[in-house]
Chain A
Amino acid sequence: MLIYILRRLALALSVVLATMVSAFLLFFAAPSDPALALCPESKCPPERLAQISASLGLDRPLRQQFFEYFSGLFVGRDFTYAGDTVHCSAPCLGFSFLTRQSVNDELFSRFPNTVVLAIMAAIVFVTVGVVTGIAAAVRRGTAADRLIVGASQVLGAIPYYVLALLVALYPVILWHVLPQFSPMSEGFGRFLLGLLAPALILGLVTSASYTRYTRNSMLETLSMDYVRTARSKGIPERTVLFQHGFRAAMSPILTILGLDIAYLLTGTLITEQIFGVDGIGRRTIQAFRSQDLPVIMGSVLMTAVIIVVMNLIVDIGYSLVDPRVRLS
């Protein structure tokens, strides 16, 4: 068991390191020019451009930039800007080129918005998905089953962003049925209400796959010998379904849930962009538009770490529950 965990840990670490290095090479070595983005070419004299490049540290050799970035990540680093020296403690993601704010602050201050949206969406898709999945499995082959499976197939097949966009445009913006996003500082109740529309649509669309997972998993469990034994002993059907069937059927779904929540936490770019939720995903898109390299790097690293850590937790958790996993 220890060896398995160590091996998984080494793999996770290598993936995170490789992501860091390749993301750095991709963004900093790439032929993009953030100085140009800050100062559009037509009205920017070359000396001003060079000045901006120098102040961003982009004129130094790549190896030096690389070393500084990674030493900042592990031990922190000092920044000099306009004569002031600012210390940025580890894990230092640098400062935004555009807003001059620390990237850590930029991302972590928006993280709560993303987290609340992710939790609300997860509540919706777990409840809807599991309930409809069990309902379909219990009524296997009936019209209700076909309706649920058909609806989940159609819901999962429509392009998500089109659906989200239509919900954002019509019920939210045009008809005012659901409130628009308002930041947490303007009252927590209004904040939660504002997240209702994005959470509902994100949750409902994601629930489509949970309906199918739950239904398949339930059907598989209910066809097991021990369930037949339980039924033949005369245990009430409700108890058989929930005590014997449901609990066993849930373990594969928990695995998928762990990974899905990891993806939701990395910022649901599309949902946040469409509904104007001020989370990490939306900030990342803004950073792309202005080629704000430190913010892009920071959010790529953060998302990679979240995904790798969640993967690790799920894998180790699963190997504790199911010893067969360790052998492969």
Chain B
Amino acid sequence: MPEPSATALSEASDEKPSTTLQHQEKRTGRSPGQVAWDRLKKDKVAIICASIIVFFILVAILAPLLTALQSADPTTGLKADATRTNTDIVDINGLPMQGTSAAHWMGVEPRLGRDLFARWAYGARPSLVIGFVAAAASTMIGVTLGLLAGYLGGVVDRVISWVIDFFLSLPILILIIAIVPIVQKGFAGTGDLTNEETSDIRFWTLIVVLFIFGWMGLARLVRGEVKSLREREFVQAARAIGVPTRQILFREILPNLVGPIIVSASIAVPAYIVYEATLSYLGVGLVEPTASWGRTISDAQSLFSIYPLWLWPPVIGLSLLVLALSLLGDSIRDAFDPSSRR
């Protein structure tokens, strides 16, 4: 947005601060982003949610370190990691012979005897990466197509709008389930792959499929906004003095859409995380040996009444992370929404 007052303000605040200047600061306009940021910093719910999210990001990054904090397993003398199986500590029915201990803070997995704390800590990784990467990618697609449709109008607009309508009337969940194996085959080719390679390919497949089906809402929103913005005086003026189209799009129009774009992206992150977990539950999400909360929940459901320790940590991790992300998204939306100004 052309915001001369903001630059004037920053220049002014470089000078010696005086009471008159501070008074002026209150009256001169701040950009919508600054207003929202200030309101967000005062929102207690937003702060709590942000801390929870930071906690999970730290768990994901520091997963190897946190796992190494556990003491070595007494039967093998080795420190646990996310993939090592240890069938010596499960009985003949596959049930673990020990509960929580210094070596296994969350116990061990039935049947395979893998360390559940390591699986939990590493399990935060795919959720977060899928959520943020897919949200970033779908936001970029949505913004680009929305800008093109709204600004160019005519045939381009009609084609893009039709594609949006088309995608919106598709049964998304069914299609995602159907497409994942197909994209997987496309990526993997026909060669024989190890489990780890298959698992990695599935991970990227999920991201691609999720953002391919996730951009329509934002594209429609941006298109509508751009259509009205392009008729506004400052855009007309820029066009009249011969500013190139690219510059009009990125310097004049896009800055006005920062609010809705950030809001939509922040709501998309938890949505994708839930999608990943749901798909893993339905059997088309992440595959072994990648640690994933959705997969663990799906596996643990078979023994939930005998061994709840397997089910609950990922349930709590997933719920808490998604809850925090969604509520933060709500707070961001309120912060950008002028009508909720108190």
Question: A residues touching B (Cβ–Cβ < 8 Å)?
Answer: 11, 14-15, 18-19, 26-27, 30-32, 153-154, 156-162, 165-166, 169, 173-174, 266, 269-270, 273, 284-285, 288-289, 296, 299-300, 303-304, 307-308, 311
Q: Is A153 in contact with B330, judged by CB distance below 8 angstroms?
A: yes
Residue from B174, B283, B322 within 8 A of A157 (CB atoms): B322
The answer to the question of B304 belonging to the interface, with a C-beta cut-off of 8 Å to chain A, is yes
Known: A15-B166, A157-B322. A169 touches B178 (CB 8 A): no
- CB pair A157–B171 under 8 Å, yes or no, is no
Q: Chain B residues near A288: list those with CB within 8 A.
A: 177-178, 284
Query: Which one of B59-67, B80-88, B179-187 contacts A?
Result: B179-187
* Contact between B174 and A299, CB atoms less than 8 A apart: yes
B323 contacts A166, C-beta separation under 8 Å: no
- Tell me whether chain A's interface is mostly helix, strand or loop, or mixed: helix
Residues in A neighbouring B177, C-beta threshold 8 A: 285, 288
Bound together, the chains give a CA A174 to CA B170 distance in angstroms of: 37
Chain A residues positioned under 8 Å from B309 (CB to CB):
none
| A157 and B282 within 8 A (CB) | no
Q: How many residues on chain B are close to A (CB under 8 Å)?
A: 37
- Bound-state CA distance A30–B184 (Å) is 11
Assess whether A296 is in contact with B169, with CB atoms less than 8 Å apart. Answer: no
**Residue of chain B at shortest CB distance from A285:** B282
* Smallest beta-carbon distance B287→chain A, Å: 14
Query: In the complex the two chains form, is A162's CB within 8 Å of B315's CB?
Result: yes
CB contact between A32 and one of B182, B315, B330 (< 8 Å): that residue: B182
Could you show 21 A-B contacts with beta carbons less than 8 Å apart?
A11-B162, A14-B162, A15-B165, A18-B166, A19-B166, A31-B186, A32-B182, A153-B330, A159-B318, A159-B322, A160-B278, A161-B277, A161-B281, A162-B277, A162-B315, A166-B315, A174-B305, A288-B178, A300-B178, A303-B174, A307-B169
C-alpha gap A296/B182 in the complex (Å): 14
B282 and A273: CB pair below 8 A? yes
Known contacts A160-B274, A165-B301, A273-B282; A26 and B179 CB within 8 A of each other: yes
Most buried by B among A27, A158, A174: A158
Which has the most chain B C-beta neighbours within 10 Å: A26, A166, A289?
A166
Q: Mark B149-186, 1 if CB is under 8 A from A, else 0.
A: 00000000000001001100111011101110110011
Contact of B174 among A15, A32, A160, A284 (CB under 8 A): A284
Asked whether, in the complex, the Cβ of B165 is within 8 Å of the Cβ of A11, the reply is yes
Q: With a CB–CB cut-off of 8 A, which chain B residues contact A26?
A: 178-179, 182
- When chains A and B are docked, how far (Å) is the Cα of A64 from the Cα of B277? 39
Asked whether B175 lies within 8 Å of A154 as measured between CB atoms, the reply is: no
Q: A154-B323, A154-B327, A303-B171 are in contact. List 17 more A-B contacts (CB 8 A).
A: A15-B165, A15-B166, A19-B166, A30-B182, A157-B323, A157-B327, A158-B319, A159-B273, A159-B278, A161-B281, A162-B315, A166-B315, A269-B282, A270-B173, A288-B284, A289-B283, A307-B169
Contacts of B278 in A (CB 8 A): 159-161, 270
User: Chain A contacts of B270 at CB under 8 A?
Assistant: 157
Smallest distance from the beta carbon of A26 to chain B beta carbons, Å?
A: 7
- In contact, B178 and A296 (Cβ under 8 angstroms): yes
Type the 1/0 row for B268-286, where 1 means its CB is closer than 8 Å to any CB of A: 0010011001100111100
Are B326 and A32 in contact (CB-based, < 8 A)?
no
How many Cβ-Cβ contacts under 8 Å join chain A to chain B? 100
B residues in contact with A273, CB < 8 Å: 282
Contacts of A303 in B (CB 8 A): 171, 174
Q: Which residues of B contact A289 (CB under 8 A)?
A: 283
Q: A161 CA to B330 CA in the complex, in Å?
A: 21
Interface centre among A27, A288, A307, A308 (most CB of B within 10 A): A288
Instruction: List chain B residues, Cβ under 8 A from A266.
Output: 171
Q: How far is the CA of A300 from the CA of B172 in the complex (A)?
A: 10
In the assembled complex, the Cα of A30 lies from the Cα of B185 at a distance in Å of 9
The verdict on B297 contacting chain A, using a C-beta distance below 8 Å, is yes
What 5 A-B pairs are tightest by C-beta distance, nearest first? A157-B326, A303-B171, A159-B274, A30-B182, A31-B185
Given A14-B162, A169-B304, A307-B171, A161-B274 contact (CB < 8 Å): yes
CB-based contact A165/B297 at 8 Å = yes
Q: Which residues of A contact B301 (CB under 8 A)?
A: 165, 169
Report B102 CB to chain A, min CB distance, Å.
29
CA of A165 to CA of B298, assembled, Å: 9
How many Å lie between the Cα of A285 and that of B273 in the bound state? 21
Contact B282 A19 (CB under 8 A): no
With a cutoff of 8 Å between Cβ atoms, the chain A residues found around residue B162 in the complex are: 11, 14-15
Shortest distance in angstroms between B127's beta carbon and chain A's nearest beta carbon?
Answer: 10
Q: Interface code B329-342, partner A: CB below 8 Å = 1, 0 otherwise? A: 01000000000000
Q: What is the bound-complex CA distance between A188 and B80, given in angstroms?
A: 53
Give the residues in chain B near A32, CB-CB below 8 Å: 181-182, 185
- When distances are taken between beta carbons in the complex, the residues of chain B under 8 Å from A15 are 162, 165-166, 169
Contact indicator A300/B171 (Cβ below 8 Å): yes
Report whether B282 and A270 are in contact in the complex, using a CB–CB cutoff of 8 Å: yes
Residue contact B327 to A153, C-beta cutoff 8 Å? yes
Report chain A residues within 8 Å CB of B326.
153, 156-157
User: Hey, which chain A residues are within 8 Å of B186, CB to CB?
Assistant: 31
Check if A300 sits within 8 Å of B318, measured CB to CB.
no
